[in-house]
Amino acid sequence: MRLVSLSLFLALGAGAQAEIHLSPAETLTQEEAVRYCRDLGEGWRAMEISELFALSSKTPFSENFSYWSADQGPSDSTVIGSGSEGDGGIIEMVGYSFYPKERNITLSPPTKRIAAACTDTPKTVRKRDYSLTPEGIVDPENGVLWHTLDATDKRAKYTFSAAEAMCENLTLHGRSWRMPTLDELYSIVDYSRFRPTVDMHYFGPMMHRYYWSSDTLNAQEAYVVGFKLGSVATAGKKEEAYVRCVSDR
């Protein structure tokens, strides 16, 4: 059994020392991965998808492996494929998996066989302290202000460079605006909600598809977050997606 001590992995349990265990092969369905983690001993559990996404790039994942989280979501008419919202048929429930090589969160059939990521850290409930102001949504966790949904055309789609320019050219409330980073954009995903996976009281009825972040995978691709079910993927910069701008506080 390969145990990895993570003194750097303190965000999962405030002040607590934590360990993770990564299964050595991609042989587990999601149900088997959850059981695999439980069988490691008292206190062990499969990690939640937001915990996996927050792991340091120094975490010793096996190259090209994907890892199950404990999270599932309702599929309804969601089309599932090799990507987060791709081709390949319709199933009732989807499982959330993490592909660390490209930092993607993928929706997969729970019967898919991949690896398990386990932790012995107790679950914590994340506190979201958003507030509405005339200028936008205050996000103290990220130190930014999000523009209100009706401040721009919420149905407008942009290439990566056009989205970047749109945000930078905004003059709302005399502030400077920019595209959010991937971590900032993903942080507003709320898996207790679906279609969209965001608290609409603060962020409004966001479109269910992809929104640009400012982070890039390479010169041709940038990261996007899907607010239908809370996926993270990459898209070609010449493709079109939605955008939500932020202003530094």
What letter would DSSP give residue 126? P
State pLDDT tens for residues 147-202. Answer: 999 999 999 999 999 999 999 999 999 999 999 999 999 999 999 998 899 999 99
Residue 76 has pLDDT above 80, yes or no: no
For 79-91, what is the mean pLDDT?
Answer: 42
pTM of the model: 0.86
For the stretch 205-211, contacts whose Cβ atoms lie closer than 8 Å and that sit 24 or more positions apart, written own/partner, are: 205/149, 205/154, 206/149, 206/154, 206/242, 206/244, 207/154, 207/155, 207/242, 209/85, 209/241, 209/242, 210/235, 210/241, 210/242, 211/185, 211/241, 211/242, 211/243, 211/244
The partner residues of 12 in beta bridges, in order of sequence, read none
Residue type, 41: G
The alpha carbon of 216 is separated from its chain's Cα centroid by a whole number of angstroms, namely: 15
Residue type, 192: S
Predicted confidence band at 48 (pLDDT cuts at 50, 70, 90)?
very high
3-state class (DSSP) for residue 98? strand
Choose between 238 and 193: higher pLDDT: 238
For 16-29, what is the mean pLDDT?
Answer: 88
State pLDDT tens for residues 114-141. Answer: 999 999 999 988 889 999 999 999 999 9
Predicted confidence band at 215 (pLDDT cuts at 50, 70, 90)?
very high
List of domains in the chain = 3-119 (3.10.100), 131-248 (3.10.100)
